[in-house]
Amino acid sequence: MTKPQLSSRDPDYTGGISKTYAEDLLYNEFVNKLSNLHYTLFADKTQSLLIVLHGVDTSGKDGTIRHAMKAFNPQSCKAFSFKKPNKEELSNDYLWRIHKKIPAKGEIIIFNRSHYESVIEERVRKLTPEDVWSKRYNQINEFEKYLFENNVRLIKFFLHISKDKQKKRLKERMDDPNQHWKFSESDIKGRKSWNEYILAYEEMLENAVLKIFHGI
């Protein structure tokens, strides 16, 4: 099984597909196909779909959700963003708030960040000791296996950008008054731990993403 090694992967690689062509393909072909498939999923009501998006700050998770959800009926498709846990969430196990948002049969749910925060953010910011978060890879695998065996289908995406690209996007947010709401001091603090985040993402991809689907 190939290790992720994000530092060796070109975040600007497009496979020879231009942005214009990709947008044309999305809106003129895929949107209709996805919409029809969504209606079939909703009418059948035997399975559900969970889409998980992860990536460093400014990697484009919000934009991806806006584009993807154009194809889906909002009555049976929702997006949830997992921020800092509140008091109630902290009083329960770390998967409690995640399980509450798992899609019902016929639904599509999109996660902007997810249960993987427990081996990313908590690890890098040292909110949880290593002997605790290191056990969560296997727990997450078992959790996702449980979902899969109960007809919840998972599609997971990691949005990969470079440190320079992140700097450019943060500067754009700072310079544009209409984007100030997207910017926070935590973005700057996160950049100082760039290498730690990349290492955490690499190990997360290897231990809690690739391994389970390699097994399936």
Domain count, the chain: 1
Residue 209 has pLDDT above 80, yes or no: no
- Assigned domain for 105 exists: yes
- Assigned domain for 108 exists: yes
In contact, 115 and 204? CB cutoff 8 Å: no
- Assigned domain for 33 exists: yes
CB atoms within 10 A of CB 60: 16
Nearest to 41 by CA among 152, 125, 191: 152
- Assigned domain for 6 exists: no
CA distance 63 to 49: 20
- Assigned domain for 188 exists: yes
- Assigned domain for 3 exists: no
Q: What tens digit of pLDDT does each residue of 138-174 get? A: 999 999 999 999 999 999 999 999 999 998 988 888 8
Q: What is the pTM of this model?
A: 0.88
- Assigned domain for 71 exists: yes
pLDDT at residue 210, rounded to an integer: 52
Residue 22 has pLDDT above 90, yes or no: no
Within 15-100, where are the H helices?
A: 19-25, 31-44, 61-68, 87-90, 96-99
Residue 74 has pLDDT above 80, yes or no: yes
Q: For all residues of the chain together, what is the average pLDDT?
A: 88
- Assigned domain for 39 exists: yes
φ, ψ at 114 (rounded to 5°): -165, -155
In contact, 163 and 194? CB cutoff 8 Å: yes
**Domain that includes residue 145, residue range:** 11-215
Q: What tens digit of pLDDT does each residue of 178-206 get? A: 777 777 777 777 788 999 999 999 999 98
Which amino acid appears at position 214 of this protein?
Answer: H
For position 195, which CATH number holds?
3.40.50.300
In contact, 161 and 11? CB cutoff 8 Å: yes
